[in-house]
Amino acid sequence: MADDRSTPAAAVRLTALTKDFGTVRAVDSAELNIRKGEFFSLLGPSGSGKSTLLRLIAGFEAPSSGRVELAGRDVTALPPHHRDVHTVFQDYALFPHMTVEQNVGYALLVAGVRKDERRARAREALATVRLDGYGDRRPAQLSGGQRQRVALARALVDRPGLLLLDEPLGALDLKLRQQMQTELKQIQRTTGITFLLVTHDQEEALTMSDRVAVLDGGRIEQVGSPLEIYDRPATAFVAGFVGMTNLLRGEAAQRVAGRPGTYSIRPERIRITPLDNTPSPTLPPPATVKPTSSPSPTTPTRPASDSGPAESTRATAVTEAAPITAVPEAAPTTAVSMERSVTGRIADIAHAGPHTRFLVRLDEGGDRLTVLRLNTAPALPLRPDSPVRLTWTSDDAYPVPN
Amino acid sequence: MLAPPLLWLGLAYLGSLAVLLLSAFWTTDSFTSDVIHVWNTDNFRTILTDSVYRTITLRTLGVAVAVTLIDALLALPMAFFMARVASGRWRRALLVAVLTPLWAGYLVKAYAWRVMLGEHGLVNAVLAPLGLTGPGYGLPAVVLVLAYLWLPYMVLPVFAALERLPTHHLEASADLGAGAWRTLRLIVLPAVRPALFAGSVFTFSLSLGDYLTVQIVGGRTQLLGNVIASQVTLDLPLAAALSAVPVVLIVCYLAAVRRAGALDSL
């Protein structure tokens, strides 16, 4: 697979691809290379242009400008039925007047394959999606998950060069969705067919894909492996959309991270420790002296101890630009990574199965940081309003290019 | 709650049908044309044995089938264009264009065709440069005018079915390698089949029962409708017996269509 990186005949190559709907630019000069045999995901919120991009590749839409190449061949002007691509539609689009087997064998029927061979191969495809014996049923007699499998079998039956999946798991419930994620990945690996998945679910994209393209407003913001996307987000949008993060901008970034710019600190990178030496919640020594003198006019000044329910609804993982005075503590001057530390009070605690999520209001400036802590570690004696210290290394504050 | 409407339906429809059927078993005095209330099956025997009536019945059936086929062939591309190609304003304009003739009087339209089909009418005038002449008055004219009259009844259900057809089904077909023609045959036609049958119920039964068009543009053509109309004053029981023929034909047709599953969507 490694040599495929250098071969020019990528499974999909998009060049300056643009699609306008009236005055709306749905896809804005997209450049993309998808390798053969890759499981690739287009990730973005609704309206980000990911589905339009998929439809441009399938041939359901004609681009306003730019080029679509499949396996080294320019297909920009070709209709869908002349492209070596099959699609699994979000609503499955099974033909209601045909049996499951006829649905699955449709591509073969159209290609002029003889009836007995058609049946054999349709059954084989149904077996790969574990639907043996369902061939004589009608789509209406199947459950959502089964229809999804039929749609998959129908698209895989003649081994297309590229399989497009348009939010294929969106209509399934959580358990089934996770099961299908594993299965899809397995089918992709055994068939070796290039999969291009469109999804708004970042977890789905990260867990299933070899590489991910994150889209926003018709633009491809970043292309990379799930790890790269998560650890080194190329834009503030990617940092905020993929996973949970603490986004620091402006003065907050300068003071918290010690450098100007925009920084993303993943909540699981922050260590939280109780400040045991200050048992009295009314008089914590390091902070609570400054909050009333917050100089920023954009941030409403409010006392640090105020943590009413109305506040917690506003609690997002992204902190706003506000002066946060870091408490620099034991920073070794020669080391590449420096320890950073701030103090604050617990604003909210949420137990989420494998981990606990703490929302901490910083003593300086009153802004909030989200912290994730695995529950495998010994439980901390923390409750709302407990004073805590947050520490991380400067490497964990990843600079997000603007 | 249901009793009054049911009673009304029973009296108005089934009652009159029963009276019609009942009178078919009476007979007429051939001199005075008075109805003689004596129970017999002579009228039905006449219809079944007399070759004149058999020919007329078959001719009427042929007209109804021809009109239905022509309407289906015309309605499919029209409805497809309206439902899947035309957008917004175009679609509304076409829908109005299909509906408007329904609001115009039947006789007006039939006589308009009579004028157009006349010797110096529009049809001949248009065909003359091509060295052709129009059908004139007669059986082809009857088929033509009936097909025109009942076309909206075919276009509307087919249009509705095509509009309901999910775009994804057409895209999926193309995506799996089918060109336009195969998609039409394998996906679109099966989807509109019930609508075609539903429309054909109208075109077929309306054609069977029509008696004015054949009088206006049919020349000397005899169909069940105008034979019945002419018999009403001469031999009412025979006319009643003849009326049973289209009723039987339509019931048979409905049964066949029902077996094809076309009435499920009505």
Q: Residue A112 — pLDDT band, cuts 50, 70, 90?
A: very high
Structural domain spans, chain B: 27-265
pLDDT over threshold 80, residue A271: yes
pLDDT in tens, A292-313: 333 444 434 334 343 333 333 3
Which CATH number belongs to the domain containing residue A32 in this structure? 3.40.50.300
Structure tokens at A43: 């990730």
pLDDT in tens, B135-148: 889 899 999 999 99
Provide the angle, in degrees to the nearest 10, between the axes of the packed helices B42-49 and B51-80: 70
* Chain A environment of B177 (Cβ under 8 Å): 81, 107, 110-111, 158
Q: Residue A277 — pLDDT band, cuts 50, 70, 90?
A: low
A347 and A363 share a domain? yes
A86 and A196 share a domain? yes
A383/A380 Cα distance (integer angstroms): 9
Residues 6+ apart with CB under 8 A from B155: B74, B75, B78, B79, B82, B98, B199
Sheet strands (E) in A39-161: 39-43, 65-70, 73-74, 85-88
From the list A93, A111, A155, the residue facing B168 with the nearest CB is A93
A51: left (phi over 0), alpha (psi -120 to 50) or beta: alpha
From the list B166, B178, B190, the residue facing A81 with the nearest CB is B178
Q: What is the pLDDT of residue B4?
A: 78
A67/A53 Cα distance (integer angstroms): 12
B203/B151 Cα distance (integer angstroms): 8
In terms of DSSP H, where are the helices of chain B? 3-9, 16-23, 42-49, 51-80, 89-103, 106-117, 122-127, 139-164, 167-175, 180-183, 189-209, 212-217, 224-234, 236-259
Structure tokens at A93: 């689009």
Q: Check CB contact of B129 with chain A, cutoff 8 Å.
A: no
DSSP B52-118: HHHHHHHHHHHHHHHHHHHHHHHHHHHHHIIIII--THHHHHHHHHHHHHHHS-HHHHHHHHHHHHS
Q: What is the pLDDT of residue A331?
A: 42
Structure tokens at A268: 């699981």
A298 and A208 share a domain? no
Q: What is the pLDDT of residue B2?
A: 66
pLDDT in tens, A329-373: 444 444 456 788 888 999 999 998 889 999 998 887 777 889 999
Residue type at A350 in one-letter notation: A
- Pick from A79-93, A163-177, B36-50 the range whose average pLDDT is largest: A79-93
Contact map slice: B 140-169 vs A, CB within 8 A = 166, 168-169
A232 and A254 share a domain? no
Q: What is the pLDDT of residue B170?
A: 94
A289 and A215 share a domain? no
Residues 6+ apart with CB under 8 A from A84: A70, A71, A160, A161, A162
Which CATH number belongs to the domain containing residue A255 in this structure? 2.40.50.100
pLDDT in tens, B71-129: 999 999 999 999 988 888 899 999 999 888 888 888 899 999 999 998 888 888 888 88
Domain finish residue from A241, A262, A281: A241
Q: Tell which of A60, A75, A157 to mutate to test the B interface (max B CBs under 10 Å).
A: A60
A206 and A291 share a domain? no
Mean pLDDT (whole number) for B161-185: 93
pLDDT-above-90 percentage for chain B: 41
pLDDT over threshold 80, residue A286: no
* Chain B environment of A86 (Cβ under 8 Å): 175-176
Structure tokens at B126: 């248009």
- What's the total number of domains in chain A? 2
Shortest CA gap A85–chain B (Å): 7
Q: What is the pLDDT of residue A103?
A: 96
Long-range contacts, stretch B97-100, CB < 8 angstroms, 24+ apart: B98/B151, B98/B152, B98/B155, B98/B156, B98/B159, B99/B152, B99/B156
Q: Check CB contact of B21 with chain A, cutoff 8 Å.
A: no
pLDDT in tens, A183-216: 999 999 999 999 999 999 988 999 999 999 999 9
Are A81 and B174 within 8 A, CB to CB? Answer: yes
Domain finish residue from A206, A223, A241: A241
Dihedral angle sign, alpha carbons of residues A172, A178, A183, A189: positive
A71 and A219 share a domain? yes
A233 and A288 share a domain? no
pLDDT over threshold 80, residue A91: yes
From the list B169, B175, B187, the residue facing A80 with the nearest CB is B175
B26-38 residues labelled b (16+ CB within 10 A) or e (exposed): bbbeeeeeeeeee
CATH architecture under which domain B27-265 falls: Orthogonal Bundle (1.10)
pLDDT in tens, A213-234: 999 999 999 999 999 999 889 9
Shortest CA gap B96–chain A (Å): 28
Structure tokens at B178: 């089918």
Q: Tell which of B176, B185, B189, B197 to mutate to test the A interface (max A CBs under 10 Å).
A: B176
Are B171 and A85 within 8 A, CB to CB? Answer: no
Q: What mean pLDDT is reported for chain A?
A: 82
Query: Residue B217 in contact with residue B7, Cβ under 8 Å?
Result: no
Dihedral angle sign, alpha carbons of residues A245, A251, A253, A257: negative
- A71-75, B128-132, B182-186: range with lowest mean pLDDT: B128-132
Q: Check CB contact of A194 with chain B, cutoff 8 Å.
A: no
Cα A293 from chain centroid? 39
Shortest CA gap A373–chain B (Å): 45
Are B171 and A93 within 8 A, CB to CB? Answer: yes
Mean pLDDT (whole number) for B238-251: 89
Q: Check CB contact of B178 with chain A, cutoff 8 Å.
A: yes
Residue that the structure tokens 């014996």 belong to = A133
Domain finish residue from A202, A220, A241: A241
pLDDT in tens, B192-236: 988 999 899 999 999 998 989 999 998 888 898 888 888 888 888
Q: What is the pLDDT of residue A314?
A: 35
A75 and A148 share a domain? yes
Mean pLDDT (whole number) for B144-161: 94
> Searching chain B, which residue's CA lies closest to the CA of residue A55?
B171
Tell me the count of A-B CB pairs closer than 8 A.
Answer: 58
Q: What is the pLDDT of residue B177?
A: 93
- A81-90, A202-211, B26-35: range with lowest mean pLDDT: B26-35
* Chain B environment of A85 (Cβ under 8 Å): 175
Residues 6+ apart with CB under 8 A from A169: A148, A176, A177, A180, A181, A184, A199, A201, A204
From the list A60, A89, A111, the residue facing B177 with the nearest CB is A111
A183 and A134 share a domain? yes
Structure tokens at B142: 């009857």
Structure tokens at B176: 């799996």
A236 and A303 share a domain? no
A220 and A311 share a domain? no
Q: Residue B29 — pLDDT band, cuts 50, 70, 90?
A: confident
Q: What mean pLDDT is reported for chain B?
A: 88
Q: What is the pLDDT of residue B20?
A: 82
Query: What is the extent of the structural domain holding A91?
Result: 2-241
Shortest CA gap B202–chain A (Å): 24
Structure tokens at A321: 């630009």
pLDDT-above-90 percentage for chain A: 56
Query: For residues A3 and A241, which has the higher predicted lDDT (pLDDT)?
Result: A241
* Chain A environment of B190 (Cβ under 8 Å): 95, 97
Q: What are A219's strand-pairing partners? A: A216
Query: Residue A152 in contact with residue A130, Cβ under 8 Å?
Result: no
A230/A214 Cα distance (integer angstroms): 11
Q: Minimal CA–CA distance to A66: which of A53, A83, A79? A: A53
Strand order in the sheet with A162-166: A85-88, A162-166, A194-199, A39-43, A211-216, A219-224
Are A154 and B173 within 8 A, CB to CB? Answer: no
B208/B247 Cα distance (integer angstroms): 9
**For residues B152, B154, B160 and B166, what is the CA-based torsion angle, rounded to 10 degrees?**
-140
Q: Residue A321 — pLDDT band, cuts 50, 70, 90?
A: very low
